[in-house]
Amino acid sequence: MADKLGIIIVAAGRGSRMGTKESKQYLLLDGKPIIVHTLERFEKMSAVEEIVLVTGREDVQRCRDYANQYGLTKCKHIIPGGKERQDSVYQGLLALGRSTEWVMVHDGVRPFAHPDHVLACLQRVQEMGAAVLAVPVKDTIKVVGSNGTIQSTPDRSSLWAIQTPQAFRFALLLDAHEKARQEGFMGTDDAMLVEWLGHPVDVVPSDYYNIKITTPEDLPWAEWILRHARGEVSE
């Protein structure tokens, strides 16, 4: 990719569903903070030149120390985030600046995005302007009403669980964020803001190892994925 590509890694959340005193992105996985595992994945990719890490205001210095300790030389900006994930991504966009052509947004608590899938996403975004990783859902999904009964069963063949990274033409994502801020529209991912603008978003197949570490039962699963990636356990 010849044009300027910026990576935003958001890690300013509190991890309330994890329920630990320490925010989940700093919990240790094989002796290393989860956020460092995630950053190392992107640091190793030759297509990646510049990473913006968005953290809690109180964690900026800690993250600077990690960047030095673990040799994360591509982590060029470490900045404070906002109240919601969407606010944190917006701060990342401002830090990258308008000379950026392409941007990829990734959750700091998704340490296992496969480099081949990240590259596939980068290829697709150049054709489509917006591309996200995803996997087909494995369960039957129901829409449940406030009275606790099933309202409907969407056709599973069209349901995908959306992951990160999510890649966009920079100007498109900035426009989506600025309009959403003006109109008070909130989305749980960046694709949602771009969809809201009416722009198509391409879905790039990923794998089920690219989990978001969200609740306590994800931690032993994450340890297993790490060992599996190193060839220490079989399927």
Ligand X SMILES: Nc1ccn([C@@H]2O[C@H](COP(=O)(O)OP(=O)(O)OP(=O)(O)O)[C@@H](O)[C@H]2O)c(=O)n1
Where does this chain bind ligand X (CB under 6 A)?
A: 10-17, 25, 54, 81-85, 88, 107-109, 212, 214
| Cis geometry, peptide bond prior to residue 165 (ω within 30 degrees of 0) | yes
Nearer to ligand X, 53 or 204 (CB): 53
14 binds, among ligand LQXTBERG, ligand X, none (CB under 5 to 8 A by kind): ligand X
163 binds, among ligand X, ligand LQXTBERG, none (CB under 5 to 8 A by kind): ligand LQXTBERG
DSSP 152: E
Nearer to ligand LQXTBERG, 16 or 147 (CB): 16
Distance of CA 40 to the CA centre of its chain: 14
Distance CA 182, CA 169 (A): 20
DSSP 102: E
126 binds, among ligand X, ligand LQXTBERG, none (CB under 5 to 8 A by kind): none
Shortest spacing between CB 110 and ligand LQXTBERG, in angstroms: 7
Give the one entry of ligand X, ligand LQXTBERG, none that residue 10 binds, where binding means its C-beta sits below a cut-off of 5 to 8 angstroms depending on kind. ligand X
11 binds, among ligand LQXTBERG, ligand X, none (CB under 5 to 8 A by kind): ligand X
Task: Identify the sign of the CA torsion 87, 103, 229, 159.
Answer: positive
- Cβ proximity to ligand LQXTBERG, 1 vs 211, nearer residue: 211
Would you state the structure tokens that stand for residue 106, as one six-digit string?
Answer: 């990734």
The CA distance from 145 to 151, in Å, is 6
The contact set with ligand LQXTBERG (CB under 6 A) reads 85, 107, 162-164, 188-189, 212, 214
Nearest to 53 by CA among 45, 44, 43, 30: 43
CA distance 90 to 94: 6
